[in-house]
Chain A
């Protein structure tokens, strides 16, 4: 749910909440998304703010609009979200890993060896 005290702007929190609904399968492809007015009532926020949350998903083409009917989850919405989140989170972890290696003065070759070792230990295929 939303946290008023969270430093994240409320429309971003609403966008996140909608994305989670899609990721968790509560909303599937071509399902109707809550209107900005429903979201405003659910989260006790101005409808324009709720509209901005939906707008973010429209921009990313995770949802689409049908004139007079409302907003719906796009066919590729779920996949797009998966790709985006994976990329974002995995990339962050890789960056953190590189930072830590630098701090410990482990050079790139050594780091690659460590990764391969872990990969083998977890039963991964050898290259």
Chain B
């Protein structure tokens, strides 16, 4: 079943075009990473899906409904980011109580246990928490709500490395036990690539890639060797990143090779290695052929 359908959707802020004619579908119970550079419209897209902002043009459907101002969508969706606000008079336990009333599948026991584990006192008011602790509190609401559509916009902002790891682990465990559709945005793809099933990569107002994380990893290959040996490949249109130090060249390029061709390369002293999803992302969205190195040359 498809949970989100996005057809020819366009969104601008005044004259600034954020998303242009994008399309994709999100299947039920997948965990998808929304990936992109700063300011490419990840938050805008997720806010449209959650029904917070309206699309300018095109068709966006969530649970087969137009999400904007829609009760069915909002009662089945939770949107977590670091700007969530709660009435200042409410304590953590008060908020959990309200969550229980609002979210059908809310697991209060899980929320309480995660809070205790994270050192959050039930009588604390969230606005006095540090940035990191507040992020933890928001993340707990996101996990314990068990919403059929759970959206995390940069949930680990402000969390330290240990907490981030715990958060991803908790999310994975609860997702395995209670599958639901999850969107997770981050610019730290290396932290989440093993957690994801799919990736939606946004770049230059469009969807640059939407597919499984393994497809993204296998789409590219890195070749390393001397300029003399790699000369044949360097001019190819398939090259997406090239680094040259003296005569030693590192190429990241589209993987159109067979295993036999790799064998031949290895025999010729070319080092062949796979590309992580993060490297593929950096190569795809960075400056092609030359990057930061060129600034110094």
Question: Which chain A residues have a beta carbon within 8 Å of chain B's beta carbons?
Answer: 4, 7-11, 37, 40-41, 43-49, 52, 95, 99
- From known contacts A40-B176, A44-B172, infer whether A9 and B194 are also in contact, taking CB-CB under 8 Å: no
Q: Is the interface of A mostly helix, strand, loop or mixed?
A: helix
Nearest-Cβ distance from residue A54 to partner chain B, whole angstroms: 14
**B212's contact among A8, A45, A48, by CB below 8 Å, is which?**
A48
- Report yes or no: A9 in contact with B218, Cβ–Cβ below 8 A: yes
Q: How far is the CA of A68 from the CA of B197 in the complex (A)?
A: 23
* Cross-interface CB contact of A46 among B169, B194, B217, B267, cutoff 8 Å: B194
When chains A and B are docked, how far (Å) is the Cα of A43 from the Cα of B195?
10
Say whether A52 contacts B214, CB under 8 Å: yes
B176 touches A9 (CB 8 A): no
What residues of chain B lie closer than 8 Å to A52, measured between beta carbons? 214
Q: Which of chain A's residues has its CB closest to B263's CB?
A: A95
Residue of A nearest to B169 (CB): A44
A9 and B274 CA atoms in complex are apart in Å by 8
Assuming A9-B217, A52-B214, is B273 touching A45 (CB within 8 A)?
A: no
Q: What residues of B have a CB within 8 angstroms of the CB of A45 in the complex?
A: 194-195
- A44's partner among B31, B194, B267, B273 (CB-CB below 8 A) is B194
| Any A CB within 8 A of the CB of B213 | yes
A46-B196, A46-B197, A47-B176 are known; give 20 further A-B pairs, CB within 8 A. A4-B194, A7-B276, A9-B214, A9-B274, A10-B194, A37-B176, A40-B172, A44-B172, A44-B194, A44-B195, A45-B194, A45-B195, A46-B194, A46-B195, A47-B197, A48-B30, A48-B197, A48-B212, A49-B197, A95-B263
Q: How large is the interface on B (under 10, 10 to 19, 20 to 34, 35 or more residues)?
A: 20 to 34
* Beta-carbon contact of B217 and A49 below 8 Å: no
Residue on A nearest B165 in the bound complex, by CB = A44
A49 to B213, CA, bound (A): 8
A49 to B31, alpha carbons, bound, how many Å? Answer: 11
Docked pose: A10 CA to B274 CA in angstroms: 11
Q: Which listed residue, B194, B213, B263, B274, touches A7 by the CB 8 Å rule?
A: B274
Contact partners of B274 in chain A: CB under 8 A: 7-9
8 pairs, CB–CB < 8 Å, chain A vs chain B: A7-B276, A9-B214, A9-B217, A11-B214, A43-B194, A44-B169, A45-B195, A48-B212
Q: Does B173 contact A (CB under 8 A)?
A: yes
Closest A residue, CB atoms, query B191 = A4
Q: How far is the CB of B268 from chain A (nearest CB, A)?
A: 10
Alpha-carbon gap, A53 to B228, bound state (A) = 38
Q: Which of B173, B195, B276 contacts A41 (CB 8 A)?
A: B173
Closest to A10 in B: B194
Chain A residues near B194 (CB-CB < 8 A): 4, 10, 43-46, 49
User: Which B211-231 residues sit within 8 Å CB-CB of chain A?
Assistant: 212-214, 217-218
CB contacts under 8 Å to A, within B184-219, are 194-197, 212-214, 217-218
Residues of A within 8 A of B267 (CB): 95, 99
Measured between beta carbons, the chain B residues less than 8 angstroms from A48 are 30, 197, 212
Instruction: Compute how far the CA of A99 lies from the CA of B266 in the bound complex, rounded to whole angstroms.
Output: 12
The smallest C-beta distance from A48 to any residue of chain B, in angstroms, reads 4
- With A and B bound together, what is the CA distance between A11 and B30 in angstroms? 17
A41 to B195 Cα, complex, angstroms: 11
Distance A46 CA – B31 CA, assembled complex (angstroms): 8
Q: Report the minimum CB–CB distance from A8 to chain B (whole Å).
A: 6
Alpha-carbon distance between A47 and B195 when the two chains are bound, in angstroms: 9
| CA gap between A31 and B122 in the complex, in Å | 47
- A contact residues around B263 at 8 Å (CB): 95
A25 and B196 CA atoms in complex are apart in Å by: 32
**Pairs of residues from A and B, 8 with the lowest C-beta to C-beta distance, nearest first:** A48-B197, A7-B274, A45-B194, A7-B273, A46-B197, A9-B217, A37-B176, A10-B194
